[in-house]
Amino acid sequence: MSFLNWVSLFSSLTAEEKKSLEMFCQERSLSNWEILFNEWDEAQAMYIVKEWELEVSKWNSVLWIVKKDWLVWEMALFEEPLKRRMASVKSISSETEIIVLLYFSIKEMEKKNPIIIEKIKNIITQRKEQNKNRWL
């Protein structure tokens, strides 16, 4: 059974696709107030919150809280050239658990299983639309 089964964003992936995607993922723990990345850092990975929460801030103002099952700053990885982070993200709970999908892994997966990448891009497109509508 794939450890990605709990990720509702990947519910459109088959069990086989989840298992393939899992090979490119790493699990990571963050301590309380640990910075995941800062504004203007180069995008190196996308993250999925597995447990607890992350805080997204810009210019020392909290924009929102990222909760379990959400992707974090994945959009920057699928735009060429690679984008810089537009906000800072840090853990606000002790022992926050995340799934990490590094950029080079995404590129490797794109060669081996482009269908999964297309599905992730579709998910991102849907999220962009939701975010655009949220800010209108």
Terminal Cα-to-Cα distance of the chain (whole angstroms)? 40
- Angle made by CA atoms 101, 44, 13, in degrees to the nearest 5: 25
84 - beta bridge partners? 42
* CB-based contact 38:88 (threshold 8 Å): yes
Proportion of the chain above pLDDT 70, given as a percent: 84
Query: Is 8-135 a CATH 2.60.120.10 domain?
Result: yes
What does pTM read for this prediction? Answer: 0.76
The model's pLDDT over 22-60, given as tens digits with 9 standing for 90+, comes to 888 889 999 999 999 988 888 888 888 888 889 888 888
Residue ranges per structural domain of the chain: 8-135
